Amino acid sequence: MSKPAMQLVNLKKTIGNKPIIKGLDFEIRAGEVFGFLGPNGAGKTTTIRMMVGLIDITEGDVLIEGKSIKTDFKGAIQHVGAIVENPEMYPFLSGWKNLKQYARMVEGVTDERIKEVVSLVGLEKAIHEKAGRYSLGMRQRLGIAQALLHGPSILILDEPTNGLDPSGIREIRKYIRNLAEKENVAVIVSSHLLTEIELMCDRIGVIKNGELIAIEEVQTVEHEEALKEVYIEVEPMETAKVYLDSHLENGVGVGSKELSMSVKREEIPQILKNLMEQGISIYGVRVLQATLEDKFFDLIGENSIE
Amino acid sequence: MSNFMKLIWNEQIKLYAKKATWVMFAVILVIAIGGGLITKFFGTESDFKEYGDNWQTELQAENEQLMAEMADDEFAGFTNEFIIAENNYHLENNIKPQPYDGWEYVLDNSFLTSVISLFTIIVAAGIISNEFKWGTIKLLLIRPISRTKILFSKYVSVLIFALTLLVFLLLSSWLVGALLFGLNGLNPMVVQDMMPGYAHNDVLGEIAKSYGFSIVTLVMMATFAFMISAIFRSSGMAIGLAIFLMMAGNTIVAFLSQYEWSKFILFANTNLEQYTNGMEPTIPGMSMTFSIIVLLVYFAIFIGAAWAAFTKRDVAGN
């Protein structure tokens, strides 16, 4: 496992007497896409603002490549590219001139680099138009370009697919995966849309009311060992139930038309074969995929803000 | 280019990318041309009169004629008296009167520095608050540059803008003046009404003094607007408050002049010209040194407050 690109150490934010963020502890590794998931008002943006030093940290710290954002702001922030909330640009400047503004604020960003980034986000055609005329999707791309200019090792994107059309979303997703896998960038993506995050992230941190309530690895390859809920529609049901009860450890449940059971994936063919040999007719088999969405809603419960 | 210079460069690009900035320059040009044309075609005739070798006789004849006019028409007295007094100053000190020229026009236009103050206030009020309004402040403050540096690059940018406007005013006034009235040499002497009395000074020195003193108000009010902009993150409030105070400043001082502490009011001190030419200061007991110290204290407070507000506060909800 690679060293953490960013570490949150007991990160807290209190505004007035109200604790907004109640002690976040997690790390993001180089080369992974980390999804920061939570309902609106859970504290995603506040956390991101603390990560980039826009707001003060009440307690704890954020370490970026080992450097504290509190005590070594410049040392820490130089590794970060970010979009915080909406990708806002100077509306009266062209996309190109907007990027030049940010290029002048760091060392060593050449015009060639800007062109490279612009073509990466696919904005070549509109780059000399005023940013005020851009659609939200184009501004999103310009925002990502701005964040990538100086070749950061950590990229923070707040709701990056907001306002993009489906093909744009797919492109950005592909691009984010690419950055993580090929250039070893740690990408933090915040979203309240689970399906989005599920498709592009390696790990997901779920935040609710300022607390991290779960960190999950996204399983891209199905584990052979995991038990699955399998439903089989059989005739006659009684014979099948008696047979299966005597052969399966966990027993079977009886539905209106189906029998349900928890078995490993590799066991399914044998079970079906045995049932047929017993003269039982099988009309259908379905395997229930426990999706992240189910887990998410179990964890979050209602979308309530305390 | 150094880091700080690049930041200033960025600010200047943003400034000149906006139409409003160009309108400011256009307004100054229009006033310079308009004022020149008005002076040329509606100005006092005697100002443009060219005198010959025996100018003394000419002046005396002029005076007699003016006296005669005054006897006929009691309303002519107001302007005529001034012309006679000025003519007498020329005769007594043996100074040949010269016609109104471009240099004098530049000097007369020094009142336009208040327009520059106004424009500078508008720019100073917007340079921080606009970043909040546009939301770009978030992108500005997540670069490896300290907030202090960003703040001062913006402040210096405001001063550069004021200086640019000032140079533009000087140049356009001089060009319009030279074209319409001609020039009496490179640095001619001018006779000025000091109220009371007259003085004979070289014009470049007078221009430097007149514009120079007005810069004090300009810088103080721009710094004030800059501070308000940094604290409240709203340009409307900064513009409104700064312009109101600039306009009402003298009235406030006059209103409160009965109190001893009124000499510590900013506006009692911004006009350093009150200590020159043997004039009486607004409030007795004040001196040039006193005013400069008071101004420096205000300046330090404005900058300090702007700095504290900009570097210490959270950037949330923008």
> Would you call B299 helix, strand, or coil by DSSP?
helix
> How far from chain centre, in Å, is Cα B265?
20
Question: Mean pLDDT over residues B114-129, rounded?
Answer: 94
Residue B17 touches partner A, C-beta closer than 8 Å: yes
Q: How far is CA B130 from CA A67, A135, B62, B229, in A?
A: 31, 21, 59, 9
Range(s) of the domain holding residue B301: 3-41+100-312
Does residue A136 sit in the same domain as residue A256? Answer: no
Of B14, B136, B146, the CB nearest to A88: B136
pLDDT per residue, tens digit, chain A (306 aa), is 457 899 999 999 998 889 999 999 999 999 999 999 888 888 898 999 999 999 999 999 999 999 999 999 999 999 999 998 888 899 999 999 999 999 999 988 999 999 999 998 889 999 999 999 998 888 988 999 999 999 999 999 988 877 778 888 888 888 889 889 988 999 999 988 777 787 888 898 988 888 998 888 876 545 556 677 888 898 888 888 888 888 887 778 888 888 888 888 788 888 889 888 888 889 988 887 666 666 666 666 654 444
- Residue B172 located in a structural domain: yes
Q: How far is CA B149 from CA B141, B152, B156, B158, B235, in A?
A: 11, 5, 10, 14, 21
- Residue B143 located in a structural domain: yes
Does residue B63 sit in the same domain as residue B209? Answer: no
Whether residue A236 has a cis bond before it, omega within 30° of 0: yes
Q: Which residues in B119-130 are b (16+ Cβ under 10 Å) and which e? A: bbbbbbbbbbbb
Whether residue B130 is predicted with pLDDT greater than 90 in this model: the reply is yes
Does residue B180 sit in the same domain as residue B210? Answer: yes
Phi-psi region at A94: left, alpha or beta (left = phi > 0; alpha = psi -120 to 50): beta
- Residue A296 located in a structural domain: no
pLDDT at residue A221, as a whole number: 45
Number of separate domains in chain A: 2
Does residue A148 sit in the same domain as residue A26? Answer: yes
Q: Looking at beta carbons, which residues of chain A come within 8 Å of B316?
A: 46, 49, 54-55
- Of A8, A2, A33, A34, the closest CA to residue A21 belongs to A8
Contact A106 B141 (CB under 8 A): no
Contact A172, A160 (CB under 8 A): yes
- Residue B290 located in a structural domain: yes
Question: Mean pLDDT over residues B248-273, rounded?
Answer: 86
Does residue A201 sit in the same domain as residue A268? Answer: no
Rg (CA), chain B: 24
- Residue A306 located in a structural domain: no
Neighbouring C-alpha atoms within 13 Å toward the C-beta of B165: 33
ipTM for this model: 0.84
Does residue B174 sit in the same domain as residue B115? Answer: yes
Q: Looking at beta carbons, which residues of chain B come within 8 Å of A102?
A: 139, 143
Residue B152 to residue A148: CA distance in whole angstroms: 27
Contact B288, B300 (CB under 8 A): no
Residue corresponding to tokens 């820490």: A76
**CA of B20 to nearest chain A CA: how many angstroms apart?**
12
Does residue A22 sit in the same domain as residue A134? Answer: yes
Range(s) of the domain holding residue A154: 4-217
- Residue B318 located in a structural domain: no
Contact A54 B142 (CB under 8 A): yes
Does residue A210 sit in the same domain as residue A251? Answer: no
**CA of B313 to nearest chain A CA: how many angstroms apart?**
7
Residue B9 touches partner A, C-beta closer than 8 Å: yes
Residue B144 touches partner A, C-beta closer than 8 Å: yes
Residue A170 to residue A47: CA distance in whole angstroms: 26
Report the residue of B131, B139, B145, B157 to disrupt the A interface, i.e. the one with the largest count of A CBs within 10 Å.
B139
pTM listed for this prediction:
0.84
* Residue spans of alpha helices (H) in chain A: 44-51, 73-77, 95-103, 111-120, 136-148, 166-183, 194-200, 237-247, 268-277, 292-300
